[in-house]
């Protein structure tokens, strides 16, 4: 009889041991579920707005592109020979000025980005937020890239074109191209700099957003509000 009782007790204890992890998982699932769509969405929106405020805004300042090695716009590939040739013939200052005015135009264009990003963030759904939260280190950046690129290009392009006139880039580049095309043994060039600078400005914007996103995802100190800490703790447990 004692043996039977001990066996029954052993079976009961074993059963409890088997159910405990399941109860833990249920609690964790309940905790995740208790963070409503509004909480998750608000946390992701706060993270994206932090990236826009802290990183994209920097690009709109004077030298925001020009003195930032991560995003500085250099000569396009088809003009690298132009750059090298100008410097070879003692025209380095002209080549440097050509690079600077491209970056100035990008700095002007990025001022148009913030309201477009804010609109995209407002339209984020719970499913978007969940996929971003549980995605890779650049999932939020990819979301913005996918939802804003077409609008950004249409906004950036005319600003870049106008900025070329405002900062005198059109005259500088006309001088650069004229000088280069007049040099011996060179093939004439006529690049579409508006398209190039527009594309490079967009690349720079998304690169800086991705820097801030990765920081929030991997650096606990970058989660500067209770909401960011709560929401991204869920990411840490994935």
Mean pLDDT, rounded, for 188-202: 84
DSSP calls for the chain = -HHHHHHHHHHHHHHHHHHHHHHHHHHHHHHHHHS-HHHHHHHHHHHHHHHIIIIIHHHTSTTTTTT-TTT-----GGGHHHHHHHHHTT-HHHHHHHHHHHHHHHHHHHTTHHHHHHHHHHT--HHHHHHHHTS-TTHHHHHHHHHHHHHHHHHHHHHHHHHHHHTTHHHHHHHHHHHHHHSTT-------HHHHHHHHHHHHHHHHHHHHHHHHHH-GGG--SHHHHHHHHHHHT-
**pLDDT value for 146:** 94
Confidence category of residue 185, pLDDT binned at 50, 70, 90: low
Of the two residues 66 and 187, the one the predictor is more confident about is: 66
181 confidence band (pLDDT: 50, 70, 90)? confident
Tell me the pLDDT tens digit for each residue of 81-116: 878 888 888 888 888 888 998 999 999 999 888 899
Percent of all residues in the chain with a pLDDT value above 70, rounded to a whole number: 82
> Average model confidence (pLDDT) for the chain?
79
Task: Determine if residue 168 is left, alpha or beta; phi over 0 gives left, psi from -120 to 50 gives alpha, anything else beta.
Answer: left
CA distance 152 to 193: 17
Q: What is the pLDDT of residue 35?
A: 45
Closest CA to 142 of 44, 6, 42, 229: 44
Name the pLDDT band for 190 (thresholds 50, 70, 90): low
Q: Please determine, for residue 12, whether its predicted confidence score (pLDDT) is greater than 60.
A: no
Q: Output 186 or 28, whichever has higher pLDDT.
A: 186
């Amino acid at each position: 009889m004692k043996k039977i009782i001990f066996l029954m007790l052993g079976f009961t204890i074993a059963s409890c041991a088997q159910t405990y992890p399941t109860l833990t998982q249920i609690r964790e699932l309940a905790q995740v579920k208790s963070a409503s769509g509004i909480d998750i969405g608000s946390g992701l929106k706060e993270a994206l707005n932090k990236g826009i405020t802290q990183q994209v805004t920097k690009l709109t300042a004077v030298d925001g592109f020009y003195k930032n090695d991560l995003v500085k716009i250099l000569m396009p590939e088809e003009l690298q020979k132009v750059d090298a040739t100008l410097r070879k013939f003692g025209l380095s200052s002209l080549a440097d000025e050509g690079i600077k005015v491209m970056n100035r135009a990008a700095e002007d264009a990025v001022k148009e980005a913030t309201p477009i990003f804010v609109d995209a963030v407002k339209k984020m759904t719970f499913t978007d937020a969940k996929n971003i939260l549980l995605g890779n280190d650049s999932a939020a950046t990819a979301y913005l890239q996918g939802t804003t690129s077409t609008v950004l290009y249409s906004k950036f392009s005319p600003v870049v074109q106008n900025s070329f006139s405002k900062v005198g880039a059109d005259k500088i580049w006309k001088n650069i191209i004229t000088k280069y095309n007049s040099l011996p043994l060179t093939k004439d060039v006529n690049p579409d700099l508006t398209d190039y600078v527009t594309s490079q400005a967009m690349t720079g914007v998304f690169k800086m957003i991705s820097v801030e996103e990765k920081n929030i995802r991997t650096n606990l100190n970058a989660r500067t509000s209770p909401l960011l800490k709560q929401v991204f703790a869920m990411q840490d447990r994935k």
